[in-house]
């Protein structure tokens, strides 16, 4: 992780709101805080570091040599892991990317619309519908999946990305609807009431006032949708049975068989590879989170 430390950080660091900085600056307290944070970061990162180290070890040494000390760089795992399954691993990365992109667009559009209605509009049965929305995330997926699979197979959607993406286009991810509702409700109502007095309709209020103000929530939605879709195993396993359509988590699991030798090195190597896109998404997303404040602060 040393390369991380050398990353140019100021882009993010400078963007904080100036008012809340007044207390920092006493050097000793700052140093103590840093030591504490670095120790905490090390503890938290240990398993991740172990995974990176193991991806650089020959397969038979992974469980026989403990600790983080490497004898040499066994980079072959990366090449072997890349080509270990039916298609090059890049194929699975691409499949995952398509699903992730579809889900992000779906969640951004449909959830923000639904959230605006729940947060700002008065309509018949609002409380009931809101309860229904929350209710939809209270049933475990394991009992839904069989009827849902039957439904999608009737539609001929098995082995396409549609069962994974279309529900997101239709705001079925209540988590994000609720998240955005909370953010919108946290926005000063004066802003849109003022716009309404100026004659704006709901479409314009939503588009020109609410959306720009909830950029942090939208960025959060993007980050989470990315990460969760990228890691989601169960539904992708069930709906994608053709290896051509496999996504990263499904592909990663098919390295492992507990009853024989498993190519752990390859599996860890590809786990590391598949961490890269999410990590990049997170880095980009968090910058955006911070830009969000600049906008809010400027208002």
Partner 1 sequence: MRKLGAIFLATALTLGLAACGGDSGGGQELSDGPVTLRFTWWGSDARHQRTQQVIDLFQKEHPNITVKGEFKDWNGYWESLATTVAANDAPDVIQVDELYLASYAERGALLDLGTATKHLKTADFDAEALATGQVDGKQYALPVGLAAYSMVVNTDLLARYKVTPPDDGSWTWDDLKRIGEQISTASGGKVTGVQAFGFDAGSLNVWARQNGTSLYDDKGNVAIPPAVLAGFWSYLLDLTKSGAAPEASVTIERASASLDQSGTATNASAFGTWWNTQLTSLSAASGAKLRLLKMPGEAGARSPGAYYKPSMFWSVSSRSKHQAEAALFVDFLANDEAAANVLLTDRGVPANTKIRAAITPRLADTDKAAVAYLDTLEVGQAPRVTPNGASGIEAILKRHTEEVLFGRATPDQAAAAFIKELQAEIDGA
Partner 2 sequence: MSALGELRSIRGSTRGSPRKRDNRAALVFLLPWFGGLFLITLGPVAASLVLGFTDYNLIQPPEFNGVDNFTRMLSDERLHNALRVTFVYVVVSVPVQLACALGLAMLLDRGLRGMAFYRSAFYLPSLLGSSVAIAVLWRQVFGADGLVNQLLDLVGVQGRGWISDPSTALSTLIVLNVWTFGAPMIIFLAGLRQIPVMYYEAAAIDGAGRWKQFWRVTLPLLSPIIFFNLVLQIIHAFQSFTQAFVVSGGSGGPSDSTLFYTLYLYQRGFNNFDMGYASALAWLLLVIIAAFTAVNFWAAKYWVFYDD
Q: Which of 145, 168, 149, 147 minimizes the C-alpha distance to 157? A: 149
Partner from partner 2, partner 1, none binding residue 21, C-beta < 5-8 Å depending on class? partner 2
The crossing angle, in degrees rounded to 10, of helices 89-106 and 264-298 is 30
- Of 112 and 271, nearer to partner 1 (C-beta) is 271
User: Does 188 contact partner 2 by CB under 8 A?
Assistant: yes
Site string for partner 1, 95-134 (x = CB under 8 A): ----------------------------------------
Among 78, 161, 264, 268, binds partner 1 (CB under 8 A): 264
Contact segment (CB under 8 A) with partner 1 among 24-32, 190-198, 199-207, 258-266 equals 258-266
User: Does 296 contact partner 2 by CB under 8 A?
Assistant: yes
Partner from partner 1, partner 2, none binding residue 263, C-beta < 5-8 Å depending on class? partner 1
Partner from partner 2, partner 1, none binding residue 171, C-beta < 5-8 Å depending on class? partner 2
Among 85, 104, 117, 273, binds partner 2 (CB under 8 A): 117
User: Does 156 contact partner 2 by CB under 8 A?
Assistant: no
Residue 70 in contact with residue 57, Cβ under 8 Å?
yes
Rounded to whole angstroms, the Cα distance separating 269 from 296 reads 41
User: Does 170 contact partner 2 by CB under 8 A?
Assistant: yes
Site string for partner 1, 150-169 (x = CB under 8 A): xx-xxx--x-----------
User: Does 227 contact partner 2 by CB under 8 A?
Assistant: yes
User: Does 72 contact partner 1 by CB under 8 A?
Assistant: no
Among 234, 294, 295, 297, binds partner 1 (CB under 8 A): 234
The CA-based dihedral angle spanning residues 119, 124, 126, 131, taken in that order and rounded to the nearest 10 degrees: -160
Tokens 């670095």 sit at which residue?
A: 38
């Amino acid at each position: 992780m040393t390369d991380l430390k050398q990353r140019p950080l100021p882009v993010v660091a400078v963007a904080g709101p100036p008012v809340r900085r007044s207390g920092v600056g006493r050097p000793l307290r700052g140093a103590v805080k840093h030591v504490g944070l670095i120790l905490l970061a090390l503890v938290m990162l240990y398993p991740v570091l172990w995974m990176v180290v193991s991806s650089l070890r020959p397969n038979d040494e992974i469980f026989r040599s403990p600790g983080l000390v490497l004898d040499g760089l066994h980079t072959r795992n990366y090449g072997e892991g890349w080509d270990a399954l039916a298609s090059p691993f890049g194929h699975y990365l691409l499949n995952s990317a398509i699903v992730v992109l579809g889900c992000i667009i779906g969640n951004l559009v449909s959830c923000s619309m639904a959230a605006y209605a729940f947060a700002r509009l008065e309509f018949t049965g609002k409380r009931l519908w809101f309860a229904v929305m929350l209710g939809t995330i209270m049933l475990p997926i394991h009992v839904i999946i069989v009827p849902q699979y039957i439904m999608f197979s009737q539609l001929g959607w098995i082995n396409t990305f549609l069962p994974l993406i279309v529900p997101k286009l239709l705001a079925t991810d209540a988590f994000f609807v609720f998240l955005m509702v909370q953010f919108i409700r946290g926005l000063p109502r004066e802003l849109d009431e003022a716009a309404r007095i100026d004659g704006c309709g709901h479409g314009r209020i939503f588009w020109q006032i609410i959306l720009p103000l909830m950029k942090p929530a939208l960025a959060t939605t993007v980050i989470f949708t990315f990460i969760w879709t990228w890691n989601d195993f169960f539904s992708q396993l069930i709906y994608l049975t053709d290896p051509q359509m496999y996504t990263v988590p499904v592909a990663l699991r098919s390295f492992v068989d507990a009853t024989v030798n498993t190519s752990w090195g390859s599996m860890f190597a590809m786990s590391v590879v598949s961490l890269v896109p999410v990590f990049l998404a997170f880095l980009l997303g968090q910058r955006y989170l911070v830009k969000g404040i600049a906008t809010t602060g400027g208002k």
